[in-house]
Structure 1
Amino acid sequence: MKTFVVGASGATGRLLVAQLLKRDLHVKIIARTIESLPDHVRHHANLSIIQESILNLSDAEMAQHVNDCVAVASCLGHNLNFKGIFGQPRQLVTDATRRLCIAIKANYPAQSVKFVLMNTTGNRNLDLAEPMIFAERCVMRLIRLLLPPHGDNEDAANYLRTEIGQNDTTIEWVVVRPDTLINDSEVTPYEIYPSPIRSAIFNAGKTSRVNVAHFMAELITDHHTWNRWKGQMPVIYNTSPSTENRQ
């Protein structure tokens, strides 16, 4: 079982790679630089590295790289600096998602390939009636106008939701929506919901990157977890102490 991971050198991507390797999976990654990967990950026997920018690959190269993979995971995101937010490529996540899906389809896989996209809880699932108060709608309009990466995240999720859809015979997908990302060294209890249970603008929760990586790995490796969430945009939060006390 081999998984193709893009954005593998990022803060969450490298944690996902570690989670997959811990499960004895073979992992293929593409990254411009690999210095951020820990040595025990970088030199793991089950890891294959393609050191390149994903958007520089030709269509044929892309199809070749995903040909032997049963799952594709994207942790791509924009760097949080001026160039990353306002520079090119503005549609990094969307373009990569689209091209990866085209590459998967070009191989005519014998069974459906899983596609797991890391996204954000600020992106609403338009298949559901997810409520948003007037003040939130106003803020979100400003964010879309002023911060191009947010629109990129929305477009990438909408591509899977509308272009791939629920009945595609070659690709099944899940869009994972964490709330405010924090760093933590260990996996801790977390909760998964079909939709946000709090305002991403005015009452944001917290989600540790390692928990996001753990959940994405569970989706890829656990049949029950995948069937529960495929074709959906689940939201992940760290379990709060108050919730733990009630359990």
Structure 2
Amino acid sequence: MTILVVGASGATGSKLVEQLLSKNHQVKAIVRSPEKLPESWKTNKNLQIIAASVLDLSDAEMSNIVKDCDAVASCLGHNLTFKGIYGQPRKLVTDATKRLCHAIKSNNRPKPTKFVLMNTTGNSNRDLNEPISFAQKCVIGLLRLLLPPHVDNEKAADYLRTQIGQNNHAIEWVAVRPDGLINEEVVTAYEIHPSPTRSAIFNAGKVSRINVAHFMASLMDDDTLWTQWKG
């Protein structure tokens, strides 16, 4: 498979690239600062590094990048600095998701392209009417007012849920909502649930970035797993 990863130089995105390369996929990685990447990436014949900011690419450039991609994964996020949280672009994840989906649709590929969005357990799936306590609803409401990245994550997933939907001929999608992220060196046993099993605010769990990357990679190259979780 040929797979595009945006946010490839991030803490989870880099793990995803490594997982995909270990499975011998052809990987395209859009990164703003290629000079910071591992030397092993620069010499890997299965990896094409595209030096760019995803929002600065023209529509034609974006369409050309995704035209041969069987899957696209977004691991974009905001840096946890004042500028990263409150500066521009405030809708990085949402705008990138929209532009990538537009580019995918413009190519009219004969089969749907898989789109995997790394999201957050703090975002509810309104299609499932997930139970949320009143206290958590209050905190989430404050987060929407105070933390633009949370709104960005919500709107990106909502775009896939409401605008791409469940029966789009060009795109099938999965939004992966990991709990609190930690660093580990190897993949360990993990469980996947359709909805949070604990409060994302008051009883958050932990999951390693490499496990999240392993699941995202598995989604893209395991059709049975994809069928189980798409949409």
Normalising by the smaller structure, the TM-score range is over 0.9
Alpha-carbon distance change, 182 to 174 in structure 1, aligned in 2, over 3 angstroms: same
Structure 2 Cα separation of the partners of residues 78 and 43 of structure 1:
28
Q: Shift in Å at residue 204 of structure 1?
A: 0.4
**TM-score in terms of structure 2 length:** 0.99
Structure 2 Cα separation of the partners of residues 173 and 219 of structure 1:
10
Letter aligned with residue 47 of structure 1: L
Letter aligned with residue 191 of structure 2: E
Q: Shift in Å at residue 206 of structure 1?
A: 0.3
Question: Is 1:185 the equivalent of 2:224?
Answer: no
Provide, for residues 122-154 of structure 1, a one-character-per-residue CA deviation record: whole Å limited to 9, x for no partner. 000000021111110111011110000000000
| 3-state SS in 2 of match to 1:188 | coil
Structure 2 Cα separation of the partners of residues 139 and 43 of structure 1:
46
Provide, for residues 29-68 of structure 1, a one-character-per-residue CA deviation record: whole Å limited to 9, x for no partner. 1110134433223321100011010100000000000001
> Hey, what does 1:222 align to over in structure 2?
222
Provide, for residues 183-236 of structure 1, a one-character-per-residue CA deviation record: whole Å limited to 9, x for no partner. 0000011000000000000000001000000000000001111011000xxxxx
For structure 1, the residue ranges without an aligned partner over 5 or more in a row are: 232-247
Whether contact under 8 Å (1:187, 1:214) holds in the other structure is yes
Provide, for residues 61-108 of structure 1, a one-character-per-residue CA deviation record: whole Å limited to 9, x for no partner. 000000010000000000000000000000000000000000000000
> Hey, what does 1:143 align to over in structure 2?
143
1:141-220 matches, cutoff 5 A: 141-220=141-220
Structure 1 Cα separation of the partners of residues 184 and 124 of structure 2:
26
Structure 2 Cα separation of the partners of residues 38 and 107 of structure 1:
32
Whether contact under 8 Å (1:14, 1:37) holds in the other structure is no
| 3-state SS in 2 of match to 1:207 | strand
> Hey, what does 1:124 align to over in structure 2?
124
> Hey, what does 1:244 align to over in structure 2?
none
Letter aligned with residue 152 of structure 1: D
Letter aligned with residue 123 of structure 1: N
> Hey, what does 2:103 align to over in structure 1?
103
Letter aligned with residue 69 of structure 1: C
> Hey, what does 2:52 align to over in structure 1?
52
Whether contact under 8 Å (1:3, 1:69) holds in the other structure is yes
Letter aligned with residue 99 of structure 2: R
Identity over aligned pairs, percent: 65
| 3-state SS in 2 of match to 1:54 | coil
> How many equivalent pairs are there?
231
Letter aligned with residue 198 of structure 2: R
Whether contact under 8 Å (1:180, 1:207) holds in the other structure is yes
Letter aligned with residue 110 of structure 1: P
> Hey, what does 1:7 align to over in structure 2?
7
For structure 2, the residue ranges without an aligned partner over 5 or more in a row are: none
Could you list the structure 1 runs, at least 4 aligned residues long, displaced by more than 4 angstroms after superposition.
none
Letter aligned with residue 227 of structure 1: T
> Hey, what does 1:18 align to over in structure 2?
18
> Hey, what does 1:33 align to over in structure 2?
33
Letter aligned with residue 107 of structure 1: N
Whether contact under 8 Å (1:13, 1:213) holds in the other structure is yes
**TM-score in terms of structure 1 length:** 0.92
